[in-house]
Every structure is written in structure tokens, then in C-alpha cells.
């Protein structure tokens, strides 16, 4: 449905698929002895951990009779199908066909495999099994530092990956949807927002922001003070919110957003906090608060996605304070077309005043 004189955006334009990139498919702790089925871009993928601990990722479909390999079990370094017992090693080669008098390993019997990396408590796969990985997965800056409390979680986010990313990095909604938790809609002050877009990422630096008055800010810095705040997006789908309040308090909120399908995402959150407060206290207070905030965002994403589908298109009118969404979409579209961008080009820069 098109409303008169209203610009609209096709749903396809809202859902670029950047396949040739690293995506988190699981938390390391999720993958034990049993194979684990996950979905990326609507393709089921089975993860399995061999006896040595190394992780394999195969399309979850046995080449023999199309049974999900996740129905099978791990045997040594291989994954054994639950139907006739064919075995596959991490590279996808078929190493055993029970009952067959002859060579098991012929090309037609190979399972399609994904490149895998396991680092910092996450299992990553390269999203396009037809291409070789370029570079390594994103590195979470503070997750290995013992001075920080780091929490990892998989959080369902019922929306398109772009909507989820924009939501995670969107400041104006915090005073409304999360009223009282970060910011309030009471007396607002102007701050400067400096946006910089590079070939593979875009960030916004918030200058002149006082400590948010809401509960989350008060817990982190009871005495107030000025805040250093950056919101960042890295291709293909990493969000990063960084806060420093005073010398001692540093919060890194990362989300690796994994597209299950065009309108369904899982956020693999990696949150690192360094503060004067004891770690148990941070965990006891911040974790439930974060989950409460996630639920509020998930509800909005559900409603937004339903509205996309009901109208068959999106209305997306932006103003200056929608700081990053359009830049993120632009970077995603370019990456989806396979264009790398120019790393030597000067960044695009813009300053905006926002009342927070």
C-alpha cells in the first residue's frame, strides 16, 4: 500500500545480504559433544566439535539422502550421519560409507563446508562457502582483559539485521522507549555529534555529554562527571557502544548481529565492563537491566517487522538526529555488491547538534 505523496522504501532495499563476511554462529559454550544446528541466511548449518576440540561447520544436509547431519553424532574428528552412518571430516570430505567395499572419499559425497574460527568465546563462520575468507573475524577489544568483567549472550532480535543494528546504535529512542533507564525526556541540553564514515565502518562521537541521569548511568558513576561516548558500526554487522565515565569506568557493549533470515536476527552480545564496583555487583545489577532493555527493543523490532510486512514496504524518513542508520545501510549495500571501498580515501565527516 502506498500512502499519497509519501516516499517509501522497498523491503529488498532494507535487507542487503552481505554474505562474504564473518558471522558469529554460536557461543563456544553452546557447543559440547552434540552437533548443534544453526541458521545463517536461511541455510541450516551444523556445528560440531571433534575429539581434539576443533570445530567444523557443514551445511546441515547429508549428501546421501538429505537428512540433517545435526541428527547424527560426533565420532572422533568426524560427524556421523544418523541415517546410514556416512562420516564427514571438518573439510567436508566423506571418510566412511558403512558397508561399501571401496573408497569412501569421492567428490560427489562431500558435504558443503564453511570456514570456521573460534576466538574469544565465540564460533564464527565465513558466510559464503563458495569464497575464501578475507581477513579474520572481529576482535572484541576488552574481552580478554582480566580487569574487565565480560559477559557473552545470544539474544534473539526479531527484525532485519539493519533494523537491529540501527536500534542498537540509536540514541534518540533511549529517552522514550527506555525512559528513565539511560536518559530522560526532561530538560535537554545540546551536544555535538561528530559522524565519520570510513570505507568499512562508521562512527559517531558524542561531545559534551554529561553522565546520563537514568539508572544505568547512576550505577556506573554515582558521582556524575563527563562522558566519552562513541557509537560504532563495523561491516558486516558489528555494533559497538563505548562509554567512559571518569577515569575508572569503561563500558564496551558489542553486538555481532547474525542474520537468520531477512527479518530475523540473533545478536551475540559481548559486554565488557571495568568499574570500581565489585564484579558480582555489576553482574547482579547490570545483567537483569540489560535483559530488560533488550526485551523492550525486541518488542519494538517485532512491531516494526510486522508493519513492514503488512504494508509490503517501509517508510523511512530520516532527520539529522538519525545519525547512523543511512550510513550503515549504504555500507551494507556496497559490501553486498562485493565492492570493498577505498581504505585510503579520506573519511566522510559531519557534525550535528542534538538535544539530549
**Residue numbers at the binding site for ligand FES (CB under 6 A):** 62, 64-65, 67, 81, 83-86
CB of 94 to Fe ion, least distance (A): 47
CB 72 within 8 A of CB 82: yes
Cell of 3: 500512502
Per-residue contact string for residues 248-287; x = within reach of Fe ion by CB under 5 A: ----------------------------------------
CB of 258 to Fe ion, least distance (A): 19
Site for Fe ion, residues 52 to 91, rule: CB under 5 A = none
Per-residue contact string for residues 197-236; x = within reach of Fe ion by CB under 5 A: ----------------------------------------
Residue number, 70 or 305, with CB nearest to ligand FES: 70
Contacted by 37, from ligand FES, Fe ion, none: CB < 5 to 8 Å by type: none
Of 8-16, 195-203, 236-244, 295-303, the segment contacting Fe ion by CB under 5 A is 295-303
- Cα 105 from Cα 110, distance rounded (Å): 8
Q: Is 166 in the site for Fe ion (CB under 5 A)?
A: no
Give every strand in the sheet of 55-59, ordered side by side. 36-40, 43-49, 55-59, 113-114
Give every strand in the sheet of 238-245, ordered side by side. 149-157, 264-274, 249-261, 238-245, 227-234, 201-207, 190-197, 348-355
Contacted by 311, from ligand FES, Fe ion, none: CB < 5 to 8 Å by type: none
Query: 83 φ, ψ to 5°?
Result: -95, -65
Helical pair 161-168 and 325-336, crossing angle rounded to 10 deg: 140
Contacted by 93, from ligand FES, Fe ion, none: CB < 5 to 8 Å by type: none
Runs of H (alpha helix) within the chain: 161-168, 215-220, 279-311, 325-336
Residue number, 46 or 47, with CB nearest to ligand FES: 46
Q: Is 297 in the site for Fe ion (CB under 5 A)?
A: yes
Which residue in this structure is represented by grid cell 565492492?
339
Residue number, 63 or 159, with CB nearest to ligand FES: 63
Residue number, 61 or 327, with CB nearest to ligand FES: 61
- Cα 22 from Cα 138, distance rounded (Å): 8
- Per DSSP, 29 falls in state G
Cell of 242: 563505548
Residue number, 36 or 298, with CB nearest to Fe ion: 298
Residue number, 116 or 216, with CB nearest to Fe ion: 216
Contacted by 297, from ligand FES, Fe ion, none: CB < 5 to 8 Å by type: Fe ion
Cell of 353: 547538534
Interface residues with Fe ion (CB under 5 A)? 297
Amino acid at each position: 500500500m502506498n500512502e499519497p505523496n509519501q516516499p517509501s522504501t522497498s523491503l529488498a532495499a532494507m535487507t542487503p545480504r552481505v554474505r562474504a563476511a564473518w558471522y558469529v554462529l554460536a557461543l563456544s559454550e553452546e557447543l559440547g559433544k552434540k552437533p548443534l544446528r544453526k541458521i545463517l541466511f536461511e541455510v541450516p548449518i551444523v556445528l560440531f566439535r571433534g575429539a581434539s576440540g576443533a570445530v567444523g561447520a557443514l551445511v546441515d544436509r547429508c549428501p546421501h539422502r538429505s537428512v540433517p547431519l545435526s541428527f547424527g553424532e560426533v565420532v572422533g574428528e568426524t560427524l556421523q550421519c544418523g541415517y546410514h552412518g556416512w562420516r564427514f571430516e571438518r573439510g567436508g570430505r566423506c571418510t566412511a560409507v558403512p558397508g561399501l567395499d571401496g573408497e569412501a572419499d569421492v567428490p560427489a559425497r562431500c558435504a558443503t563446508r564453511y570456514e570456521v574460527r573460534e576466538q574469544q568465546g565465540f564460533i564464527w563462520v565465513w558466510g559464503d562457502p563458495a569464497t575464501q575468507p578475507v581477513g579474520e573475524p572481529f576482535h572484541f577489544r576488552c574481552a580478554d582483559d582480566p580487569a574487565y568483567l565480560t559477559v557473552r549472550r545470544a539474544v534473539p532480535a526479531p527484525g532485519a539485521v539493519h533494523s537491529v543494528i540501527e536500534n542498537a546504535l540509536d540514541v534518540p529512542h533511549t529517552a522514550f522507549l527506555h525512559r528513565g533507564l539511560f536518559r530522560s525526556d526532561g530538560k535537554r541540553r545540546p551536544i555535538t555529534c561528530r559522524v565519520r564514515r570510513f570505507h568499512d565502518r562508521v562512527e559517531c562521537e558524542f561531545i559534551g555529554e554529561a553522565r546520563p541521569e537514568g539508572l544505568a548511568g547512576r550505577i556506573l558513576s554515582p558521582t556524575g562527571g563527563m562522558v566519552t561516548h562513541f557509537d560504532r558500526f563495523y561491516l558486516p554487522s558489528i555494533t559497538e557502544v563505548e562509554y567512559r565515565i571518569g577515569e575508572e569506568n569503561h563500558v564496551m557493549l558489542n553486538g555481532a548481529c547474525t542474520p537468520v533470515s531477512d527479518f530475523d536476527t540473533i545478536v551475540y552480545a559481548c559486554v565488557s565492563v571495568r568499574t570500581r564496583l565489585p564484579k558480582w555487583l555489576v553482574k547482579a545489577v547490570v545483567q537483569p537491566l540489560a535483559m530488560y532493555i533488550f526485551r523492550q527493543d525486541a518488542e519494538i523490532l517485532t512491531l516494526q517487522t510486522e508493519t513492514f510486512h503488512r504494508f509490503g514496504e517501509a517508510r523511512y524518513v530520516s532527520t539529522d538526529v538519525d545519525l547512523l542508520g543511512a550510513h550503515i545501510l549504504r555500507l551494507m549495500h556496497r559490501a553486498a555488491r562485493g565492492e570493498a571501498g577505498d581504505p585510503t580515501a579520506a573519511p566522510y565527516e559531519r557534525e550535528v547538534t542534538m538535544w539530549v
